[in-house]
Amino acid sequence: MPAPQRIAVVTGASSGIGEATCQALAGAGFHIVAGARRQERLQKVVAPLGGEALPLDVTQLPSIEAFVQAVGARHGRIDVLVNNAGLAAGLAQVAEGRDDDWVQMLETNVLGLLRMTRACLPLLRKAPSSHVVNLGSVAGFEVYAGGAGYTASKHAVRAITRTLRLELVGEPIRITEVAPGMVETEFSLVRFKGDAARAAEVYRGVQPLTGADVADCILWVVTRPLHVNVDELVVRPIAQANAFTVARRS
Ligand code: NDP
Ligand code: 8X3
């Protein structure tokens, strides 16, 4: 009997790294279940891949529960969970920081990832072997002025990933943090609340990573032999040495 198609759940799949990850994993034979808030965008991503789009707002516990319940009812297990949904909101220093920005980043990047992982664990345990990939960032081990809310959230992703590694050891569940540097997606447009000129300035004079570059890393970690756990993978553009040291062409 042929092995059943492996199920990959990708959060935040309506754009950027999540969208590219759906494409990369579908290309490797996974059945994709994609979640995000923007359903029209999500449908456009999964339709050509033969995948499924389900509404998901990781800041809302009932939304997470409905999403995971639907995956369980349809597939009975999860082989790969990519916790990708996330965002930065603003670049204000702490003295001028906005509560709603901090709450949104922490609710999405930290609580959303924690709650999504907890909800998916029973289905990850139903697969013969499974894998959780968390999207961290170089902001998970570096800091920069104006980044306190975001860097705190990505430091937390790093801590959660390492904690899960301890808690899951002995089970056939791999756990990886993929930590990219600068990737040109809708990330900066979201951070600067639709200010396209300010977002474009982030990538001026440099060739950033693309969502596909990061998806390639995710594909690589999940396709290693089952006894190989890539604990963390840091990837940046060649022109970026750390979060704020970037060689730009004039
Ligand atoms: P994008 O803005 O292009 O994509 C973010 C995705 O997250 C969207 O699909 C968005 O979908 C989804 N999302 C946001 N909030 C929620 C929510 N509450 N519930 C469900 N989905 C949500 O940015 P990226 O692709 O760059 O970001 C993906 C991940 O990569 C993030 O975790 C980010 O922190 C991380 N990262 C990005 C880097 C970069 O330079 N771009 C570098 C390092 C890490 P929707 O709005 O439809 O819900
Ligand atoms: C995104 C990278 O440097 O903008 O996670 O924080 S950075």
Q: Which residue among 155, 158, 187 is best mutated to probe the pocket of ligand 2, counting the most ligand atoms within 8 A of its Cβ? A: 187
State residue 92's pLDDT score. Answer: 98
Please name the amino acid found at residue 227. Answer: H
- The token duo for 143 is 């800091």
User: Contact at 8 Å (CB) between 234 and 179?
Assistant: yes
Q: Which atom of ligand 1 is nearest to the CA of 14?
A: 9
Judge if the beta carbon of residue 180 lies within 6 A of ligand 1: yes
Q: pLDDT (tens digit, 9 = 90+) per residue, 150-175?
A: 999 999 999 999 999 999 999 999 99
Burial class (CB in 10 A: 0-12, 13-18, 19+), 135: buried
Where residue 4 falls among pLDDT bands split at 50, 70, 90?
A: confident
Phi, psi (rounded to 5 degrees) for 80? -135, 130
- The model carries a pTM of 0.98
Q: Which residues pair with 177 in a beta bridge?
A: 134, 232
State residue 11's pLDDT score. Answer: 99
Judge if the beta carbon of residue 43 lies within 6 A of ligand 1: no
Judge if the beta carbon of residue 87 lies within 6 A of ligand 1: yes
Report how far apart, in Å, the C-alpha atoms of 39 and of each of 7, 84, 166, 175 are: 20, 16, 35, 28
Judge if the beta carbon of residue 243 lies within 6 A of ligand 2: yes
User: Contact at 8 Å (CB) between 230 and 224?
Assistant: yes
Q: pLDDT (tens digit, 9 = 90+) per residue, 67-102?
A: 999 999 999 999 999 999 999 999 999 999 999 999
Q: Which residue among 9, 11, 17 is best mutated to probe the pocket of ligand 1, counting the most ligand atoms within 8 A of its Cβ? A: 17
Q: Which atom of ligand 2 is nearest to the CA of 244?
A: 3
Q: Identify the structural domains of the chain with CATH numbers, from first to last.
A: 7-183+210-241 (3.40.50.720)
Q: Which residues pair with 80 in a beta bridge?
A: 8, 131
State residue 217's pLDDT score. Answer: 99
Q: Which atom of ligand 2 is nearest to the CA of 202?
A: 4
Judge if the beta carbon of residue 185 lies within 6 A of ligand 2: no
Instruction: Name the pairing type of β-strands 245-246 and 240-242.
Output: antiparallel
Catalytic residue positions, numbered: 150
Q: pLDDT (tens digit, 9 = 90+) per residue, 41-68?
A: 999 999 999 999 999 999 999 999 999 9
State residue 14's pLDDT score. Answer: 98
Please name the amino acid found at residue 192. Answer: F
